[in-house]
């Protein structure tokens, strides 16, 4: 059973300081923000963390050495550190040239056009072909390209060397599966240098058939249901539902509404994630008695 706390946009030094409270609240894992270098170190906009220029560790959230220190300390509390890995796309050049890779992007990727997907924007999210072959507003990486695969494998293994015990694969739904002609996920997951307790991919608004296919290679982070509840990571709210202008379906919920929904959800799902709301006093809700008591609940069968 996994009770995960998502501390998005929280510096690693602060996560380390909060470990005693995280443990007391009944969480056994913490998901931290992407740590890949971004195209603009000066901006504090939350979305910039999802515009990486490559696979090197270290940005405003923290350095490689700070991640190492966090993992060492988290182990004392029996808490797994999960890193959000951006593996589907890179930073773009500008708002106007949004499907063109930024000039700071890894030079080996830039000089190999085959490292990228077709420069076409998804306009039909019900089309599985478009979702996996076109771009979602940023330059999409070609998951079948061996250069791309090797760079991602090297990054994940570097995280493992530091002590990371889990990965969230951002935008996993946009990466095709073996039954669709793409060997990305089996190659990536089977190339890790040691067993990792928790790996999950973001697959939102998906039916059971698609969830079951992704679940062959990882757990599935989703807002959908599944026949096999152990195969998914379930959530009430995430950064997109709270912060996104387009997807913000929970931004008008009170913090009490979110926690009440979470308290009900943990009755039925063995793997859940609680998002600490950013940039407001609501952020402290994860420290409430309501959330602590929810994490003590046993699963109803």
The pLDDT value recorded for residue 50 is: 96
Residue 104 lies in a domain: no
Residue 64 lies in a domain: yes
Residue 272 lies in a domain: yes
pLDDT digits (tens, 9 = 90+) for 77-132: 999 999 999 999 999 999 899 999 999 999 999 999 999 999 999 999 999 999 99
Q: Is a pLDDT exceeding 70 seen at residue 301?
A: no
Q: How far apart are CA 248 and CA 276, in angstroms?
A: 15
The tally of domains found in the chain comes to 1
Give 9-12's long-range contacts (Cβ < 8 A, gap of 24+): 9/33, 9/46, 9/49, 9/61, 9/278, 10/61, 10/276, 11/60, 11/61, 11/62, 12/61, 12/62, 12/63, 12/66, 12/67, 12/69, 12/70
Degrees to nearest 5, angle at CA 178 with 176 and 181: 75
Of 157 and 298, more confident = 157
Catalytic residue (one of 84, 202, 237, 240): 202
Q: In the chain, which ranges are continuous DSSP H helix?
A: 12-24, 64-76, 107-110, 128-133, 146-162, 184-190, 208-214, 239-243, 255-265, 289-294
Known catalytic residue at 213: no
Band the pLDDT of 248: cuts 50, 70, 90: confident
Average the pLDDT over 36-56 and give the result. 92
At which residue do the structure tokens 């089309």 appear? 127
Of the candidates 273, 190, 188, 271, the residue with the CA atom closest to the CA atom of residue 228: 271
Q: What is the reported pTM?
A: 0.94
In the DSSP assignment, the letter for residue 140 is B
Q: Is a pLDDT exceeding 90 seen at residue 227?
A: no
Residue 234: enclosing H or E segment and its boundaries?
Answer: strand 232-235
Q: Tell how strand 2-6 and strand 166-169 pair up.
A: unpaired
For residue 22, what is the domain's CATH number?
3.20.20.80
In the DSSP assignment, the letter for residue 135 is B
Known catalytic residue at 170: yes
Residue 40 lies in a domain: yes
Residue 42 lies in a domain: yes
Band the pLDDT of 300: cuts 50, 70, 90: low
Residue 196 lies in a domain: yes
Catalytic residue (one of 66, 84, 170, 285): 170
Q: How far apart are CA 259 and CA 43, in angstroms?
A: 31
Q: Which domain holds residue 260?
A: 2-88+145-294
Q: Burial code of 50-73, b = ≥16 C-beta within 10 A, e = fewer? A: bbbbbbebebbbbebebbbbbbeb
Residue 127 lies in a domain: no
pLDDT digits (tens, 9 = 90+) for 251-274: 999 999 999 999 999 999 999 999
Q: How far apart are CA 245 and CA 20, in angstroms?
A: 34
Residue 157 lies in a domain: yes
């Amino acid at each position: 059973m996994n009770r995960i706390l998502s501390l998005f946009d929280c510096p690693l030094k602060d996560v380390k300081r909060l470990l005693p409270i995280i443990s007391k609240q009944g969480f056994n894992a913490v998901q931290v923000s992407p740590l890949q270098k971004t195209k603009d170190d000066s901006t504090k906009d939350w979305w910039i963390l999802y515009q990486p220029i490559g696979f090197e560790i270290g940005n405003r959230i923290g350095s490689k050495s700070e991640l190492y220190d966090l993992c060492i300390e988290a182990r004392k509390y029996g808490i797994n550190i999960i890193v959000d890995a951006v593996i589907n796309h890179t930073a773009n050049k500008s708002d106007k040239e949004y499907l063109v890779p930024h000039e700071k992007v890894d030079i080996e990727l830039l000089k190999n056009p085959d490292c990228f997907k077709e420069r076409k924007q998804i306009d039909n999210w019900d089309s599985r072909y478009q979702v996996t072959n076109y771009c979602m507003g940023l330059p999409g990486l070609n998951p079948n390209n061996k250069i791309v695969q090797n760079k991602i494998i090297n990054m994940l293994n570097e995280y493992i060397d530091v002590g990371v015990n889990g990965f969230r694969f951002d935008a996993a739904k946009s990466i095709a599966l073996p039954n669709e002609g793409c060997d990305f996920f089996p190659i990536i997951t089977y190339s890790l240098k040691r067993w990792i307790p928790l790996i999950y991919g973001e697959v939102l608004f998906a039916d059971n058939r698609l969830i079951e296919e992704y679940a062959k290679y990882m757990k599935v982070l989703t807002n959908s249901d599944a026949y096999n509840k152990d195969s998914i990571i379930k959530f009430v709210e995430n950064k997109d539902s709270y912060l996104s202008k387009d997807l913000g379906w929970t931004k008008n919920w009170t913090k009490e509404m979110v926690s009440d929904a979470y308290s009900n959800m943990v009755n039925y799902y063995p793997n859940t994630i609680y998002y600490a709301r950013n940039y407001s006093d609501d952020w402290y809700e994860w420290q409430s008695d309501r959330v602590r008591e929810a994490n003590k609940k046993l699963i109803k069968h």
